[in-house]
Amino acid sequence: MNQNSFRSLQFNVSGIGFWLTAFAIVWLLGAVGLGWLVKSFLILIGLIILAPVVAFVGFRWWLKRNLVEAQCPVCHYESAGINGMQLRCPSCGEPLKVDAGHFQRLTPPGTVDVEAIDVSVKQLEDS
């Protein structure tokens, strides 16, 4: 008689024993009237698996709606921001607000934007 054949048979069916034991425990809980315990445990496991997937999909949807990539109105540097937030341009440091899909400068009320023009000065000689 070969003793190794019994050991290999026992090793191969050891995984089935776990599942049979788990099935027997679930069946006994259902027979005793604690089937609600098994159902609530399965629902909890389902929620643990499903919640991160729903959160990831929801976050991607929110990010697609609120992430804005546009150019700075001062230096035309391309950067990204979230709708309704304030940020500084990484290139020129200008404070900006993300509004309606593009960047707007944050200027205090009453500030007038002007462009300076270099005027050459002609000096008059004293006689």
Tell me the per-residue pLDDT of 26-82, one tens digit each, with 9 for 90 and over.
Answer: 888 778 777 788 788 889 999 999 999 999 999 999 999 999 999 998 889 999 999
Most confident stretch, 3-7, 62-66, 108-112: 62-66
pLDDT of 54 reads: 97
**Coil, strand or helix at 63:** helix
Q: Is 38 left (phi over 0), alpha (psi -120 to 50) or beta?
A: alpha
Short-list 117, 121, 81, 124, CA closest to 99: 81
0.75 exceeded by pTM: no
Alpha carbons 42 and 19: distance in angstroms, whole number: 16
**Domain extents in the chain:** 3-62, 66-105
Cα-Cα-Cα-Cα dihedral of 108, 113, 118, 119, to 10°? -100
Tell me the per-residue pLDDT of 14-39, one tens digit each, with 9 for 90 and over.
Answer: 678 888 888 888 888 778 777 788 78
